[in-house]
Amino acid sequence: MNENTEKILVKYLMNTANVDDLEVLTKWLKDDHNKEIFKDYIKTNFAMDINANKFNTENAKKEYLRKIRHDKKLVHRLKIYKVLKYAAAATLVFGLGYFFQKGFMNAPIKEVPIIVNTSIEPGTDKATLTLGDGSHITLEKGASFQSKNASSNGEEIVYKDKDQNVAEIVYNYLTIPRAGQFHIVLSDGTEVWLNSESQLKYPVAFIEGETREVELIYGEAYFDVSPSALHKGSKFKVFNQSQEIEVLGTQFNIKAYKDESNIYTTLVEGKVAVTFNGEKENLVPNQQSKLNIMSGNVTIASVDVYNEISWKEGVFSFEGKPLKDIVKVLSRWYDVDFVFGDESAKEKRFNGSLNKNLKIKEILDIIKNFEKIKGYEINEKTIMIR
């Protein structure tokens, strides 16, 4: 294997390969000799069967080849980015981005986890709908809901497109608990994906010709806004805490959790203007604004969009995140609390993409196997990191 081929292979395994890289890799793998080199390379550096704690290089090779073929088909359908990022959602889940560690396969297991509660499951589709009269409706898988304005199949709620003029705004609230997520289609066709521990306030129907306004009270939401051109030029605004976001038709993500000091707005497509204390900042695709609530400082930086929105695709994408931030994400999705027995572990950085359908034990085992923590203990809803 020459140096260029190895770089491409590592790029693919780290989820940074582009379309041209995939073409080169596919042609290279047509040679049976190269397939054996590929197999040995995975055996030396990458492949791990987490559940069995064994290394099955043949299955790993087949899985990578399957994903490469599948990814080439997907790439033509991706609107958001040219770089392929969906390999982490495959059936075999690898901590992509940190497998390139020589000698890992022989690393000893230092501790056996202590587990008192084995019933912790990943999150699922569920929410509480609060109607204009104050009544509450539980939305969850297997339960349908129907009203004159909306319908739900338990996985999403869709509001009807009103043809007649609305004289008065009536608001609904959609609250997503810990270990939950939900999708909503507003009456204008705007789609919103809500992450765990989030709440959205929105009109049952918008007044024709007036600015369409919703409020992300807290949490995280991904917006795919129906263009203004379809609504007689009416703008779309999202309010949350101390800022206002104005859009004409775009896709963006807002992260504004109650237990975090920063609000992050990430633009995927289109244009948005973020206003704070009368100051307006325009974002272009692949840019993120970070508002510090305490100081009022706003910074704008280029980011990897996938890492910011992978949650809606069913993937945790941690790119060099410290464990203290990672456990916040995990606590919301699995409805657990983390405590650190070893304070130094908070700052250890972990790099990889993991399927959100994994059990919490599998997530922790991956982190532990890469020596980011010494061990862990699960006791009911509390997890101790050692």
Q: b vs e for 176-190, b when ≥16 Cβ sit within 10 Å of the residue's Cβ?
A: bbebbbbbbbbbbeb
d(CA 284, CA 71): 27
Over 70: is that where the pLDDT of 8 sits? yes
Given 74, 106, 138, the domain boundary residue is: 106
Contact (Cβ atoms closer than 8 angstroms) between residue 176 and residue 197: yes
Tokens of 331: 């606590």
> How many helices, marked H, and strands, marked E, lie in the chain?
7, 24
Tokens of 178: 């810990």
Shared domain check, 89 and 35: yes
**Residue 119 belongs to some domain of the structure:** no
Shared domain check, 142 and 84: no
Tokens of 123: 């999150």
Predicted confidence (pLDDT) per residue in 83-142, tens digit: 333 333 332 334 333 333 333 334 444 455 555 555 788 999 999 999 999 999 999 988
Paired sense of beta strands 114-115 and 376-379, if any: parallel
Contact (Cβ atoms closer than 8 angstroms) between residue 174 and residue 194: yes
Q: Rounded mean pLDDT of 290-318?
A: 91
Contact (Cβ atoms closer than 8 angstroms) between residue 385 and residue 374: no
Whole-model pTM?
A: 0.73
Over 70: is that where the pLDDT of 27 sits? yes
- pLDDT value at position 110? 47
Shared domain check, 163 and 15: no
pLDDT winner (highest mean) among 35-49, 207-221, 307-321, 367-381? 207-221
Residue 297: Cβ-neighbour burial (10 angstroms; 0-12, 13-18, 19+): exposed
**Residue 271 belongs to some domain of the structure:** yes
Shared domain check, 241 and 194: yes
Shared domain check, 318 and 278: no
Shared domain check, 216 and 356: no
- pLDDT value at position 248? 75
Shared domain check, 88 and 44: yes
Shared domain check, 293 and 159: yes
Predicted confidence (pLDDT) per residue in 254-288, tens digit: 999 999 999 999 999 999 999 988 889 999 999 99
Residue 367: Cβ-neighbour burial (10 angstroms; 0-12, 13-18, 19+): buried
- pLDDT value at position 102? 34
d(CA 115, CA 306): 33
Shared domain check, 93 and 128: no
Contact (Cβ atoms closer than 8 angstroms) between residue 306 and residue 85: yes
- pLDDT value at position 122? 93
Residue 350: Cβ-neighbour burial (10 angstroms; 0-12, 13-18, 19+): buried
Tokens of 129: 């709908």
**Residue 357 belongs to some domain of the structure:** yes
Shared domain check, 84 and 137: no
Please spell the DSSP secondary structure of 29-83, one letter per residue.
TTSHHHHHHHHHHHHHHT--BTTTTB--HHHHHHHHHHHHHHHHHHGGG-SS-SS
Paired sense of beta strands 180-185 and 156-159, if any: parallel
Tokens of 89: 């959602």
**Residue 117 belongs to some domain of the structure:** no
Shared domain check, 249 and 211: yes
Task: Name the percent of the chain lying above pLDDT 90.
Answer: 48
**Residue 113 belongs to some domain of the structure:** no
Domain count, the chain: 3
Q: Give the CATH number for residue 168.
A: 2.60.120.1440
Q: Which of 54-63, 93-102, 314-323 has the lowest mean pLDDT?
A: 93-102
**Residue 16 belongs to some domain of the structure:** yes
Q: What residues make up the domain containing 179?
A: 124-303
- pLDDT value at position 372? 85
d(CA 92, CA 100): 17
Which DSSP helix (H) or strand (E) runs through 333? helix 323-334
d(CA 240, CA 214): 9
Contact (Cβ atoms closer than 8 angstroms) between residue 210 and residue 234: yes
Q: Quick one: three-class SS letters along 285-332? A: CCEEEEEECCCCCEEEEECCHHHHHHHHHCEEEEEEEEHHHHHHHHHH
**Residue 112 belongs to some domain of the structure:** no
